[in-house]
């Protein structure tokens, strides 16, 4: 049984590709170079990385839709479902005992477009260390939910969690994806520092987004093109428990289902 939509999409994709070959007069040596490159990406197991880096941002723009709610952003390849649901306040993301980095306190609210608090929302957050590394992903990081957790909100849709400030990071650069960005295209493999969120509440579309920080050197040249203006926040300072903390805040608005 054929899926008519797949047939139509495939046919159109091939037509566009053939037109492209003709328009640019591509020859056998170009064809061989592309084929070899595609094989390298396969052999390196980099297709998820390649797709997320070059195409996910476009799929994101056609998926969540614009409206009176928080813009979505790419999920990226590093999300892990099943992070621990925090229950003891003050909520603190799991860390290694010797976790380094600026202490960061993050305050969030979750509302619907009418301004009503979504008290049953869960804020699933994950981010890199102050060296730009992710748990489960980077060699040397534990296979454990480090700097990853699900945070509940209160009856006002408010919550607050403690963590450390993540650093900008480079996507893997030693394989064919990094090679293309660095050597062939003359770009770079950096992403600006960010916090990843996946916010869910019954009756609302899950919001997958990221927040970036004012002043980051890679905001205008994110290799994954994931930055949106409405997702850049200023970082402030606050006091808690007699200590100074970097403060981030954001009011999330979810899209009704
Ligand atoms: Fe990330």
pLDDT confidence of residue 243:
93
Both tokens of 186, joined, read 């003359």
**Average pLDDT of the chain, as a whole number:** 96
Q: What's the gap between Cα 223 and its chain centre?
A: 12
Q: What per-residue confidence (pLDDT) applies to 142?
A: 87
194-216 average pLDDT score: 98
* Nearest one of 127, 171, 159 to 145, comparing CA atoms: 127
Q: How confident is the model at residue 1 (pLDDT cuts 50, 70, 90)?
A: confident
Query: What is the arithmetic mean of pLDDT over 148-155?
Result: 98
User: β-strand 207-213 against 232-233: which pairing, if any?
Assistant: parallel
Give the distance (Å) from ligand 1 centre to CA of residue 174: 18
How far, in Å, is the centroid of ligand 1 from the Cα of 78?
Answer: 7
Q: CA 244 to CA 242: how far, in whole Å?
A: 7
Mean pLDDT along residues 22-42: 98
The fraction of the chain above a pLDDT of 90, given in percent, is 96
Query: Could you tell me which of 72, 76, 73 has the C-alpha nearest to residue 53?
Result: 76
Q: Residue 154 above 90 pLDDT? A: yes
Q: How far is the CA of 202 from the centre of ligand 1 (A)?
A: 26
Looking at residue 139, its pLDDT comes to 86
Task: Round to whole Å and give the CA distance between 193 and 233.
Answer: 11
Residues with CB under 5 A from ligand 1 (ion): 76
Peptide bond into 90 cis (omega under 30): yes
- Report the separation in Å between the CA atom of 127 and the middle of ligand 1, taken as the mean of its atom positions: 6
Sequence-distant (≥ 6) Cβ neighbours of residue 203 within 8 angstroms:
256, 257
How far does the centroid of ligand 1 lie from the alpha carbon of residue 87, in Å? 25
**Beta strand pairing call for 194-200 and 207-213:** antiparallel
Average pLDDT, stretch 224-231? 95
DSSP at 118: -
Query: For the chain, which domains are there?
Result: 44-253 (2.60.130.10)
Q: Percent of the chain, pLDDT > 70?
A: 100
Q: What are the start-end ranges of the H helices in the chain?
A: 4-23, 28-43, 47-54, 56-63, 176-179
Rounded to the nearest angstrom, the distance between the alpha carbon of 26 and the centre of ligand 1 is 36
How much is the pLDDT for 16? 98
If you average pLDDT over residues 39-46, what whole number do you get? 97
Would you tell me how many other CB atoms lie within 10 Å of the CB of residue 3? 9
Cα of 79 vs centre of ligand 1, distance in Å, is 9
What is the predicted pLDDT for the residue at 168?
A: 97
Q: Is the pLDDT assigned to residue 50 strictly greater than 90?
A: yes
How far is 166 from 104, CA to CA, in rounded Å? 9
Residue 207 CA, chain-centre distance (Å), reads 12
C-alpha 122/C-alpha 248 separation (Å) is: 18
Q: How far apart are CA 147 and CA 161, in angstroms?
A: 11
What is the structure's pLDDT at 157?
A: 98
- Say how many Å lie between the CA of residue 164 and the centre of ligand 1: 15
Confidence of residue 226 (pLDDT cuts 50, 70, 90): very high
- Tens-digit pLDDT profile for residues 173-187: 999 999 999 999 999
Burial class (CB in 10 A: 0-12, 13-18, 19+), 135: buried
Cβ atoms 163, 92 nearer than 8 A = yes
Cα of 192 to ligand 1 centre, how many Å? 9
Q: How confident is the model at residue 101 (pLDDT cuts 50, 70, 90)?
A: very high
Residue 77: its pLDDT value, please?
Answer: 87
Instruction: Give 11: exposed, middle or buried? Use CB within 10 Å, 0-12, 13-18, 19+.
Output: exposed
Each residue's pLDDT tens digit, 56-84: 999 999 999 899 999 999 999 899 999 99
- pLDDT band at 121; cut points 50, 70, 90: very high
**C-alpha pair distances (Å), 169 with each of 15, 148, 235:** 38, 17, 19
How many CB atoms lie under 10 A from the CB of residue 250?
A: 16
36 band by pLDDT with thresholds 50, 70 and 90: very high
């Amino acid at each position: 049984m054929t899926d008519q939509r797949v047939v139509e999409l495939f046919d159109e994709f091939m037509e566009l590709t053939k037109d492209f070959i003709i328009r640019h007069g591509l020859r056998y040596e170009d064809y061989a170079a592309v084929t070899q490159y595609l094989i390298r990406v396969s052999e390196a197991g980099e297709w998820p990385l390649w797709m997320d880096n070059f195409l996910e941002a476009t799929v994101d723009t056609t998926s969540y839709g614009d409206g009176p709610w928080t813009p979505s952003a790419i999920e990226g390849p590093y999300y892990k479902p099943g992070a621990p649901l925090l229950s003891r306040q003050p909520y603190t993301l799991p860390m290694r005992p010797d976790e380094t980095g600026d202490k960061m306190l993050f305050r969030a609210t979750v509302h619907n477009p009418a301004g009503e608090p979504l008290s049953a929302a869960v804020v699933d957050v994950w981010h890199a260390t102050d060296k730009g590394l992710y748990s489960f992903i980077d060699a040397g990081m534990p296979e454990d939910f480090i700097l990853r957790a699900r945070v509940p909100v209160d009856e006002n849709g408010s919550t607050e969690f403690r963590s450390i400030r993540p650093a900008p990071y480079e996507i893997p650069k030693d394989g064919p994806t990094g090679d293309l960005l660095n050597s062939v295209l003359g770009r770079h493999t950096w992403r600006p520092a960010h916090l990843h969120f996946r916010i869910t509440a019954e009756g609302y579309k899950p919001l997958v987004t990221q927040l970036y920080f004012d002043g980051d050197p890679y905001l205008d040249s994110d290799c994954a093109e994931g930055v949106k203006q409405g997702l850049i926040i200023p970082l402030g300072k606050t006091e808690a428990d007699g200590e100074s903390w970097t403060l981030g805040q954001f009011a999330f608005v979810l899209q009704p289902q």
